[in-house]
């Protein structure tokens, strides 16, 4: 079995397309393998090898994709958001214990400042836009440091290091081993029935597990191809679809919603393209959006449930002929998935509501240098090691998982528990509402109260009172938002996800409360 990225990407025909991009020739699987050999030679020449940590700070696109898949075959990759400020780069580079950093030729921004401060090996990535997408050269600045281990990475070596988002505390380091990433890539390929004939349009940021594993690694493992957009842009998305002719794309719900707002203006392109499926992950997809996407594109919408600690995928809605259930994140999609008691280390019956836990080959061995987090998030039961996801949910009679929300996001209103996802789903049924995020609002007596931020459909006119009255007709009184804020845009994180925690503060509602 292919338990390393090198083995996973090795068996495909030399002339099959691998990476594409706007106005660029295709890079083949054979050329990608040759690029990996040259890249590892360049790393070794700079004193960087197996086990050494290489931060990658590049804009989204085919070079970011190829840098990840080539460097990860013989070193440890740590992709970072290129939009960080100097103090953020300072923190992450130090926390990672990075030895080297990959930066674009000519770049002299904050990542370079931080890397120089920490004495990292600077590796400059350059490319010629006339060359195939993803092809690049890597040149080290200065002298090599030390003698590298030039062996290819093994199954138990770290392939990828990412940090948790850390909304409420210091971000935790998640090391993902070669066999974790390889297993997850295979799980996704199996779930989506990917073959060499498939092509993914990638719009996800490639410093995030969703894009790195679901779009890039799963596609390359199947011998398929990826057309790499320079990031997400709803205005250019349909033009990219027309150029790339993909069989599928994967995105977060906010991206799908932005795409739907442009669909009516692009009926001609919609008539030409033929998607086999659309995938959604990294946040809950409102059922209404799932239905509308499927109707607009004429293909199944596969909602999956993933997180960094699982090297992405945990559960997924299956392909037809099995049902895709709106509001459900589907069936186990690789690892074993159960529900457990939220406090005691014990597994519960499948239909009970509890904390979602997972066990399997794609799950990280644990957070790095964080015994407290490992003791809290992992436990042994039935001869297996289980990871606590922090999400609450229950399985239906068909084995489909329904999430009720993040445990730390569930609103505790004077002892009455409110699932933000349930309130989201009801408000999304209002004909004027395009987007919603329900969140906890501090309350002096109840502890927390229900708040909701709403974006209206184009041209819609409605008051916060109208939305609250609509909610009151569908929800128990304690679940009805006491405050509805109508916005032109809801603040999002770097990966396009809506963030409930801290939203009241961001919107200036804490002092008011």
195-201+222-405: what fold?
A: Rossmann fold (3.40.50)
The answer, yes or no, to whether the previous bond of 109 is cis (omega within 30 of 0) is no
**CATH class of the domain whose range is 421-506:** alpha beta
| Beta-bridge partner residues of 250 | 202, 279
CB 329 within 8 A of CB 316: yes
Question: Distance (Å, rounded) from C-alpha 108 to C-alpha 92?
Answer: 18
Q: What average pLDDT does this structure show over 214-221?
A: 98
pLDDT at 477: 92
Of the pLDDT bands very low, low, confident and very high (cuts 50, 70, 90), residue 41 is very high
Q: Is 168 exposed, middle or buried (0-12, 13-18, 19+ CB in 10 A)?
A: exposed
Q: What average pLDDT does this structure show over 316-344?
A: 97
Which two tokens mark 140? 């080290």
Question: Distance (Å, rounded) from C-alpha 335 to C-alpha 39?
Answer: 33
The backbone region for 321, taken as left when phi is positive above 0, alpha when psi lies in -120 to 50, beta otherwise, is: alpha
pLDDT at 168 over 90: no
pLDDT at 169 over 70: no
CA torsion angle for 293, 191, 18, 158 (degrees, to 10)?
A: 120
Which two tokens mark 324? 């895709």
Question: Distance (Å, rounded) from C-alpha 286 to C-alpha 385?
Answer: 32
Q: How many alpha carbons lie under 13 Å from residue 477 in its C-beta half-sphere? A: 0
Mean pLDDT over the full length of the chain: 94
Which two tokens mark 34? 């040759």
Question: Distance (Å, rounded) from C-alpha 377 to C-alpha 390?
Answer: 8
Q: CATH 3.40.50.980: does it fit domain 5-186? A: yes
DSSP H or E segment with residue 122: strand 121-126
Q: What average pLDDT does this structure show over 87-99?
A: 95
Q: pLDDT, tens digit, for every residue of 342-396? A: 999 999 999 899 999 999 999 999 999 999 999 999 999 989 999 999 999 999 9
CB 69 within 8 A of CB 160: no
Q: pLDDT, tens digit, for every residue of 270-295? A: 999 999 999 999 988 999 999 999 99
* CA-based nearest residue to 305, from 362, 381, 238: 362
Helix (H, G, I), strand (E, B) or coil at 43: helix
- Of 496 and 96, which is predicted with more confidence? 96
- Domain 5-186 identical in fold to domain 195-201+222-405: yes
- Of 6 and 417, which is predicted with more confidence? 6
CB 187 within 8 A of CB 235: no
| Domain residue extents for the chain | 5-186, 195-201+222-405, 421-506
Question: Distance (Å, rounded) from C-alpha 35 to C-alpha 29?
Answer: 10
Q: pLDDT, tens digit, for every residue of 464-497? A: 999 999 999 999 899 999 999 999 998 888 878 8
pLDDT at 513: 43
* Residue spans of alpha helices (H) in 193-298: 209, 218-221, 234-244, 253-263, 267-272, 287-297
Tell me the whole-structure pTM to 2 decimals.
Answer: 0.91
Convert 267-285 to b/e letters by CB count within 10 Å (16 or more is b). Answer: eeebeebebbbbbbbbbbb
Q: What average pLDDT does this structure show over 188-214?
A: 97
Number of DSSP helices (H) and strands (E) in the chain, helices first: 16, 26
- Of 254 and 18, which is predicted with more confidence? 18
């Amino acid at each position: 079995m292919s338990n390393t990225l090198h083995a996973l990407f090795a068996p495909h025909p030399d002339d099959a397309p691998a990476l594409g991009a706007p106005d660029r020739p295709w890079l083949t699987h054979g050329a990608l393998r040759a690029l990996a050999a040259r890249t590892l030679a360049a790393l070794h020449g700079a004193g960087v090898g197996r086990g050494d940590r290489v931060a990658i700070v590049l804009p989204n696109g085919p070079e970011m994709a190829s840098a990840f898949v080539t460097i990860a075959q013989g070193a440890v990759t740590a992709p970072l958001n290129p939009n960080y400020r100097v103090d953020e780069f300072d923190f992450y580079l130090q926390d990672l214990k990075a030895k080297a950093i990959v930066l674009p030729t000519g770049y002299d921004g904050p990542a370079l400042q931080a890397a120089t401060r920490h004495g990292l090996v600077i590796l400059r990535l350059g490319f010629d836009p006339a060359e195939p997408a993803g092809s690049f050269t890597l040149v080290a600045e200065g002298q090599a440091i030390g003698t590298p281990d030039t062996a290819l990475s093994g199954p138990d070596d770290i392939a990828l290091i990412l940090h948790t988002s850390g909304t409420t505390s210091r971000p935790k380091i998640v090391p993902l081993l070669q066999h974790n990433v390889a297993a997850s890539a295979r799980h996704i390929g199996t779930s989506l029935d990917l073959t060499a004939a498939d092509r993914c349009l990638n719009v996800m940021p490639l410093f995030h597990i969703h894009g790195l594993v679901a779009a890039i690694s799963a596609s390359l493992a199947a011998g398929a191809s990826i057309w790499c957009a320079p990031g997400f842009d709803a205005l250019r998305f349909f033009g990219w679809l027309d150029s790339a002719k993909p069989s599928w794309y994967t995105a977060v719900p906010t991206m799908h919603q932005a795409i739907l707002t442009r669909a009516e203006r692009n009926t001609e392109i919609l008539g030409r393209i033929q998607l086999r499926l659309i995938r959604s992950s990294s946040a809950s997809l409102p059922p209404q959006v799932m239905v509308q996407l499927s109707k607009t594109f004429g293909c199944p919408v596969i909602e999956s449930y993933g997180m960094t600690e699982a090297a992405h995928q945990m559960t997924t809605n299956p392909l037809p002929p099995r049902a895709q259930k709106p509001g459900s994140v589907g069936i186990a999609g690789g690892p074993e998935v159960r529900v457990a008691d939220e406090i005691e280390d014990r597994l519960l019956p499948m239909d009970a509501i509890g904390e979602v836990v997972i066990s399997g080959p794609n799950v990280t061995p644990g957070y790095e240098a964080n015994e407290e987090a490992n003791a809290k998030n992992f436990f042994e039961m039935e001869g297996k090691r289980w990871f606590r996801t922090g999400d609450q949910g229950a399985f239906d009679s068909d084995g489909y998982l329904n999430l009720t929300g993040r445990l730390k996001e569930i609103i505790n209103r004077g002892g009455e528990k409110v699932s933000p996802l349930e309130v989201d789903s009801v408000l999304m049924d209002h004909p004027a509402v395009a987007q919603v995020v329900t969140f906890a609002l501090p309350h002096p007596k109840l502890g927390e109260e229900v708040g909701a931020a709403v974006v209206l459909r184009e041209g819609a006119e409605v008051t916060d009172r109208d939305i609250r009255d609509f909610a009151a007709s569908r929800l128990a009184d304690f679940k009805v938002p006491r405050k509805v804020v109508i916005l032109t845009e809801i603040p999002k994180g770097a990966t396009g996800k809506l963030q409930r925690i801290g939203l009241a503060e961001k919107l200036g509602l804490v002092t008011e409360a």
